[in-house]
Each structure stands twice: as structure tokens, then as C-alpha cells.
């Protein structure tokens, strides 16, 4: 299973952060991270 760190997602002040974006939930952050990874 891939971890948050593998996707470049961090957890700061109760929110998940991916790049310059913040998300309330981990699932939303992972979906966006996977989509970004797929387009690179």
C-alpha cells in the first residue's frame, strides 16, 4: 500500500496538503495526487 508521503501529501494543522492545495480529507488529496502523477 502506498503511503501519503509516496504521493507527496503532508498533514499540516489538521488538513492534508498536496503541493499548493489543501484538502479536508485524505481520499480527496490522494485522488488529486494520483491524477497529477498520471499526467506527468
Domain boundaries, the chain: 4-39
Element (H, E) at 40: none
Q: Model confidence at 4, in pLDDT bands (50, 70, 90)?
A: confident
Verdict on whether the full-model pTM lies above 0.75: no
Cell numbers for 1, please give them. 500500500
Burial (CB count <10 Å: 0-12, 13-18, 19+), residue 7: middle
3-state secondary structure of 26: helix
Per-residue pLDDT, 6 = 86
β partners of residue 23:
16
> 14-38, pLDDT tens digit by residue?
999 999 999 999 999 999 999 998 8
β partners of residue 16:
11, 23
Per-residue pLDDT, 2 = 67
Amino acid at each position: 500500500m502506498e503511503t501519503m508521503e509516496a504521493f507527496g501529501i503532508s498533514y499540516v494543522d489538521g488538513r492534508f496538503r498536496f503541493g499548493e492545495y489543501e484538502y479536508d480529507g485524505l481520499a480527496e488529496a490522494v485522488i488529486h495526487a494520483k491524477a497529477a502523477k498520471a499526467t506527468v
